[in-house]
Amino acid sequence: MNPVFAGAFAIPCAGAARYLLDEAGWRAVAGEPALRFIAMWADESAVIALLQDATGARVMATVAVEQGFFPGLSLWHPEAAMFERMIRDLWGYNAVGGTDGRPLFDYGHWRLAHPLGRPTPPFAAPEPAITGFAHKGTLALMRGKPARVAARFAARVDGRATVAHAIAYAHAVEAASRTPAPARAERLREIMGTLEIAGGALDRIGRIAEAAGAPVLQGRADRLREALARAAGAAFGHRLMMDCVVPGGVVVDVSADGPGALDALRRSVREAAVPALVEASLGGRLRDLPLVAARLAACVAQVDNGVQELGARLEALPQGAVMQASLVMAGEGIGMADGPSGGILHWLRLEGGHIGGAFILDPAWAASEACAMEVAAAAPEDRAIVRAAHGVLASGMDL
Amino acid sequence: MNALWQAVWHNLFARHPRAVSAARRDMTLLHRDCGSCNGCEIELRLALSIAHDSTRRGLSLASSPQQADTMLVTGPVTHNTQAHLGATWDAMPDPKFVVALGDCAIDGGVFRGSYAVAGGAGSTLPVDLAIRGCPPTARQILDALGGDTTPVS
């Protein structure tokens, strides 16, 4: 434990240590170089910062919101500025000493302002939105719903990572209620997650090929993406495996046709010989774009590894139920999963089996700024490729 | 846009974009994501890719509103995108059509009723064709949009 948390009141949260700090303690955390800032959000009358210490462990610092104000972190951690803007738009809590006063999601078009705090009528005349186009009010829609119902919203934070978000959400509910999913369900989730990552990688290869003007590679990636969607549909009943993962387990076991369909997919991927084609069609073009080349290589590896392992994993599935009901109604927890664009984290608080508060950290929060900087630094003719390699889309961050 | 002309148009040529553009056997689609989770985009991208040979079906994507005859809306129309969507629609020449792609674009889907969501595409534009599904599959999208549906070998 980092010494800045010594003596602080610990709030029980499954998956991460959570401490309640006074203002002086919060500022000590802000200035502590051994703690890396990851994200920040709010709950009822409190702001929560998620940090990572030197050992890689996650720790949550909490400070009370007083009269609508809390001490901001953006002076110490520039990446906190976007979260402070979000907290003001959604909860109405203002960061004292915040470095960026612009709105992030709320441009005065909504039916009400501060939907997650104390809702008020819209605060200003509508102005053109610059960010937050895809803001759908997901967190407010989840709040007050039974955990199982709210899973539908978690599955629609980003459709390209619907399985990963559903897994992270389910893990958070299961941690909060201290009821792990059965082993067979957990293995099935891993298979679905791997398939989704391979699908996302194919999608990205296709987009990079399109941006780089490599139609043969693009066509082959798109055909494989379609084959993967069909195999997923045959095995789990939905081409994107949306709503297949829920708190407590999975709603579908692998179908009788599943192993055959996934094996056919494995053969198609092998026959397509994507790595050789990538080298032949883009090897020269990407020589001066090492970051894009590295991302593309990672995608190629994700496709190959992901699909090759599936057969063995299906055979190794443990027998038993795929669903485990929970009777625990209250608690707080963090859940994580790997998606096509990186790690996903869900935090939530259960109250009487319903969602009391939640936050969803999509990789787009970290990637959007990195992408913008890389695109700006790239030569004009390379920008489309750099953007395609990043694959940052708004929905995951806009909530 | 002349409201009377629009009303006459929509009453004369009910409802499928192909009803008019069948003579040309093609549709030029302008896709607008109005807050989609990107699920519909995955299926739309596959539908328009070589995997389904969409060019032979006479479907292509426009890069500007002036080239397009059909607006393809995905996602619930969020309040933050509503004004932009209307402006884009106004920039499209007549005759023009609206396709609501996916449950969210039809009525807001699971996001219906949110403070940030206006509803489906119908909240802002006159919808001609709705394609159900969350998301609709690439095949369902192509079947709904019509055109040459001989199987791709």
| Mean pLDDT of chain B, nearest integer | 83
With respect to residue A257, please indicate whether it lies within any of the assigned structural domains.
Answer: yes
Inter-CA distances, A129 with A43, A86, A110, B121, Å: 26, 14, 11, 18
Structural Rg of chain A based on CA atoms? 22
Kindly state whether residues A291 and A195 are assigned to the same domain. yes
Report the CATH number that the domain containing residue A88 is assigned in CATH: 3.30.460.80
In whole angstroms, give the CA distance from residue A122 to residue A89.
Answer: 11
Least confidently predicted of A64-68, A274-278, B96-100: A274-278
The encoded tokens of residue B104 equal 């969210």
Arithmetic mean of pLDDT, B52-75: 87
pLDDT digits (tens, 9 = 90+) for B11-22: 555 455 555 544
With respect to residue A389, please indicate whether it lies within any of the assigned structural domains.
Answer: yes
Kindly state whether residues A183 and A269 are assigned to the same domain. yes
Kindly state whether residues A191 and A320 are assigned to the same domain. yes
In whole angstroms, give the CA distance from residue B61 to residue B72.
Answer: 10
Q: Which residue has the tokens 């039916």?
A: A111
User: Based on the number of CB atoms within 10 Å of its own CB, is A155 exposed (0-12), middle (13-18) or buried (19 or more)?
Assistant: buried
Kindly state whether residues A122 and A183 are assigned to the same domain. no
List CB contacts (< 8 A) between B51 and chain A.
Answer: 219, 222-223, 225-226
With respect to residue A344, please indicate whether it lies within any of the assigned structural domains.
Answer: no
Q: How confident is the model at residue A279 (pLDDT cuts 50, 70, 90)?
A: confident
Res A394 pLDDT > 90: no
In whole angstroms, give the CA distance from residue A95 to residue A30.
Answer: 13
Least confidently predicted of A227-231, A286-290, B101-105: A286-290
Inter-CA distances, B152 with A148, A218, B72, B110, B139, Å: 40, 18, 24, 34, 11
Beta bridge partners of A61: A19, A49
The encoded tokens of residue A148 equal 């199982």
pLDDT digits (tens, 9 = 90+) for B104-153: 999 999 999 999 999 999 999 999 899 999 999 999 998 888 754 444 43
The residue from A102, A132, A162 where one domain ends is A132
Nearest to A136 among B50, B51, B114 (CB): B114
Kindly state whether residues A192 and A318 are assigned to the same domain. yes
Least confidently predicted of A7-21, A247-261, A348-362, B2-16: B2-16
The pLDDT, as a whole number, for residue A243 is 95
Tally the C-alpha atoms within 13 A of residue A358's C-alpha that lie toward its C-beta. Answer: 32
Other C-beta atoms lying within 10 Å of the C-beta of residue A108: 15
Report the CATH number that the domain containing residue A252 is assigned in CATH: 1.10.645.10
Arithmetic mean of pLDDT, B52-58: 76
Res A335 pLDDT > 90: yes
The pLDDT, as a whole number, for residue A120 is 86
Backbone angles phi, psi at A350, to 5 degrees: -95, 135
- CA-CA-CA-CA dihedral for A260, A266, A268, A274, to nearest 10: 170
Res B54 pLDDT > 50: yes
Arithmetic mean of pLDDT, A21-27: 91
Res A319 pLDDT > 80: yes
The encoded tokens of residue A226 equal 């379609």
Continuous segment of H or E residues that includes residue A43 = strand A36-43
Which residue of chain A has the CA closest to B76? A136
List CB contacts (< 8 A) between A219 and chain B.
Answer: 49-51
Arithmetic mean of pLDDT, B83-100: 92
DSSP state string for A127-180: ---SS-TT---HHHHHTTSBHHHHHHHHTTS-GGGHHHHHHHHHHHHHHHTT-P
Q: Does B87 touch chain A (CB under 8 A)?
A: no
Output the CA torsion sign for A371, A375, A377, A383: positive
Q: How confident is the model at residue A138 (pLDDT cuts 50, 70, 90)?
A: very high
Q: 3-state class of A229 per DSSP?
A: helix
Domains in chain B: ranges and CATH: 26-145 (3.40.50.12280)
Bigger pLDDT: A1 or A312? A312
Kindly state whether residues A199 and A289 are assigned to the same domain. yes
With respect to residue A347, please indicate whether it lies within any of the assigned structural domains.
Answer: no
Q: What is the count of structural domains for chain A?
A: 2
In whole angstroms, give the CA distance from residue B103 to residue B111.
Answer: 10
In chain B, the DSSP E strands lie at 27-33, 59-61, 70-74, 77-78, 97-101, 117-119, 129-131
Q: Do A138 and B111 touch (CB under 8 A)?
A: yes
With respect to residue A251, please indicate whether it lies within any of the assigned structural domains.
Answer: yes
Arithmetic mean of pLDDT, A30-46: 92
What residues contact residue B80 under an 8 Å CB cut-off, 6+ apart?
A105, A107, A109, A129, A132, A133, A135, B35, B116
Nearest to B115 among A115, A128, A203 (CB): A115
Q: Do B50 and A218 touch (CB under 8 A)?
A: yes
The pLDDT, as a whole number, for residue A389 is 87
Residue A91 belongs to domain spanning = 3-132
Arithmetic mean of pLDDT, A34-45: 93
Kindly state whether residues A296 and A204 are assigned to the same domain. yes
DSSP state string for A249-314: EES-PPPTTHHHHHHHHHHHHHHHTHHHHHHHHHTTTTTT-HHHHHHHHHHHHHHHHHHHTHHHHH
The pLDDT, as a whole number, for residue A191 is 93
Output the CA torsion sign for A373, A377, A383, A388: negative
Q: Do B110 and A162 touch (CB under 8 A)?
A: no
pLDDT digits (tens, 9 = 90+) for A139-164: 999 999 999 999 999 999 999 999 99
Res A227 pLDDT > 50: yes
Kindly state whether residues A189 and A310 are assigned to the same domain. yes
The residue from A117, A132, A147 where one domain ends is A132
Kindly state whether residues A26 and A128 are assigned to the same domain. yes
Kindly state whether residues A263 and A194 are assigned to the same domain. yes
Res A136 pLDDT > 60: yes
pLDDT digits (tens, 9 = 90+) for A167-197: 999 999 999 998 999 999 999 999 999 999 9
Q: 3-state class of A53 per DSSP?
A: coil
With a pLDDT cut of 70, the percent of chain A lying above it is: 100
pLDDT digits (tens, 9 = 90+) for A241-256: 999 999 999 999 999 9
In whole angstroms, give the CA distance from residue A135 to residue A150.
Answer: 17
pLDDT digits (tens, 9 = 90+) for A81-97: 999 999 999 999 999 98
Arithmetic mean of pLDDT, B85-90: 94
The pLDDT, as a whole number, for residue B149 is 47
With respect to residue A359, please indicate whether it lies within any of the assigned structural domains.
Answer: no
With respect to residue A125, please indicate whether it lies within any of the assigned structural domains.
Answer: yes
Kindly state whether residues A184 and A125 are assigned to the same domain. no
The pLDDT, as a whole number, for residue A254 is 92
Kindly state whether residues A225 and A305 are assigned to the same domain. yes
Q: How confident is the model at residue A236 (pLDDT cuts 50, 70, 90)?
A: very high
pLDDT digits (tens, 9 = 90+) for A372-389: 888 888 888 888 888 888
Chain A: nearest CA to B83, how far in angstroms? 8
Predicted ipTM?
0.89
How do A58-64 and A331-339 pair as beta strands?
A: unpaired
Continuous segment of H or E residues that includes residue A9 = strand A9-11
Chain A: nearest CA to B9, how far in angstroms? 31
Nearest to A159 among B78, B111, B135 (CB): B135
With respect to residue A161, please indicate whether it lies within any of the assigned structural domains.
Answer: no
Q: Do A135 and B35 touch (CB under 8 A)?
A: yes
The encoded tokens of residue A323 equal 């669903």
Tally the C-alpha atoms within 13 A of residue B118's C-alpha that lie toward its C-beta. Answer: 22
* Chosen from A111, A127, A136 to mutate, greatest number of chain B CBs within 10 A: A136
The pLDDT, as a whole number, for residue B5 is 56
Which has the closest alpha carbon to A394: A372, A374, A377? A372
The pLDDT, as a whole number, for residue B11 is 52
Q: Do A141 and B110 touch (CB under 8 A)?
A: yes
What residues contact residue B87 under an 8 Å CB cut-off, 6+ apart?
none
The pLDDT, as a whole number, for residue B1 is 44
pLDDT digits (tens, 9 = 90+) for A51-88: 999 898 999 999 999 999 999 999 999 999 999 999 99
The encoded tokens of residue B130 equal 């709705």
Tell me if A330 sits within 8 A of A352, measured CB to CB.
yes
pLDDT digits (tens, 9 = 90+) for A101-115: 899 999 989 999 999
The pLDDT, as a whole number, for residue B17 is 58
Q: Do A133 and B78 touch (CB under 8 A)?
A: yes
Q: Does B112 touch chain A (CB under 8 A)?
A: no
Q: Peptide bond before B135: cis, by omega within 30 degrees of 0?
A: yes
Tell me if A62 sits within 8 A of A20, measured CB to CB.
yes
The residue from A132, A159, A187 where one domain ends is A132
Q: 3-state class of A91 per DSSP?
A: coil
